[in-house]
């Protein structure tokens, strides 16, 4: 997956090119792009969007399968944690534009962004436990926002939420009917925000983010757990099955 970056007026558009596989290189480029936009004096808004059928199909489990060492396997999820924190701590207002379904890491970014727009029918899926991993943001920030019972169900059953469900519970800002309407809907949302004082808008964002940042200790611990699990034999064997397009099975004893 490659990433396209350009600035339009005061909006930095960062596009995850289809199919949105989060490789080690892509995650580093994504983090650098968000950081560059944060430092750019022209930019007030950062938009991360997908292209094609998917927003993102998630982290590259083939990297875990092919890793030369446990440390190498862990590096993928250390980079994913870096993207999440960079988005959450950006000095600019951040918006996710979900053009299509998102899996794993693509769904986890929802908890880091300030606002989000999605196409009706889009699904956000958390399949990490199926592959011997955990969704760290769903397990911490998500548990606070959707409730612990629902977060547990999503994480333990490879579950998903639709854009409509997420909008109903206040986690998607706006819905659109078709992918070709997404960019204009984002521009319209930003236009409405521009009617507010920029100083007041930044203070609103600061206080809203505080409710997430208070959970950073738990989130850091969950991200460390994800990285540790990715280096285990169980996760690496599951990743090999994923690479071969086979389903894992587990014995509960």
Per-residue pLDDT, 190:
98
Residue ranges in the chain assigned as alpha helix (H):
24-39, 61-66, 70-88, 105-108, 143-146, 148-156, 163-168, 182-193, 198-213, 216-230, 233-243
Regions of the chain short of the pLDDT cut 70: 1
pTM of the predicted model as reported, rounded to 2 decimal places: 0.95
Per-residue pLDDT, 241:
95
Per-residue pLDDT, 135:
97
Per-residue pLDDT, 10:
97
Question: Quick check: 22 and 60 in contact, CB under 8 A?
Answer: yes
The count of C-alpha atoms lying within 13 angstroms of the C-alpha of 134, restricted to the half-sphere facing its C-beta, is 20
- Ordered domains of the chain (ranges, CATH): 3-243 (3.90.226.10)
Strand order in the sheet with 160-162: 54-56, 101-103, 123-125, 160-162
Partners of 58 in the beta sheet?
21
Q: What's the N-to-C CA distance of the chain in angstroms?
A: 39
Per-residue pLDDT, 253:
84
Per-residue pLDDT, 2:
85
The mean of the pLDDT values for the chain is: 95
Dig out the tokens for 148 from the structure: 């612990």
> Backbone dihedral region of 170: left (phi > 0), alpha (psi from -120 to 50 degrees) or beta?
left
Q: How far apart are CA 131 and CA 125, in angstroms?
A: 13
Per-residue pLDDT, 1:
59
Query: CA 39 from chain center: how many Å?
Result: 21
pLDDT in tens, 122-149: 999 999 999 999 999 999 999 999 999 9
């Amino acid at each position: 997956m490659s990433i396209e970056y350009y600035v339009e007026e005061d909006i930095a558009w960062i596009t995850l090119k289809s199919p949105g596989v989060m490789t080690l290189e892509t995650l580093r480029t994504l983090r650098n792009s968000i950081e560059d936009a944060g430092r750019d004096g022209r930019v007030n808004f950062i938009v991360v969007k997908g292209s094609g059928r998917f927003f993102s199909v998630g982290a590259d489990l083939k990297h875990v399968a092919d890793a030369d060492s446990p440390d190498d396997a862990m590096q993928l999820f250390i980079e994913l944690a870096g993207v999440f924190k960079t988005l959450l701590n950006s000095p600019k207002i951040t918006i996710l534009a979900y053009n299509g379904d998102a899996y794993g890491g693509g769904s986890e970014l929802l908890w880091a962004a300030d606002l989000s727009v999605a196409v009706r029918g889009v699904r956000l899926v958390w399949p990490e436990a199926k592959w011997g991993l955990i969704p760290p943001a769903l397990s911490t920030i998500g548990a606070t926002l959707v409730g612990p019972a629902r977060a547990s169900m999503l994480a333990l059953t490879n579950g998903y939420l639709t854009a409509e469900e997420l909008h109903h519970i206040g986690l998607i800002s706006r819905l659109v009917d078709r992918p070709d309407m997404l960019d204009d809907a984002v521009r319209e949302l930003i236009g409405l925000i521009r009617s507010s004082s920029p100083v007041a808008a930044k203070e609103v964002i600061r206080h809203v983010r505080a409710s997430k940042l208070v959970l950073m200790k738990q989130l850091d611990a969950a991200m460390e757990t994800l990285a540790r699990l990715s280096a285990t034999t169980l996760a690496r064997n599951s990743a090999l099955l994923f690479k071969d397009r086979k389903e894992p099975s587990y014995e509960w004893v």
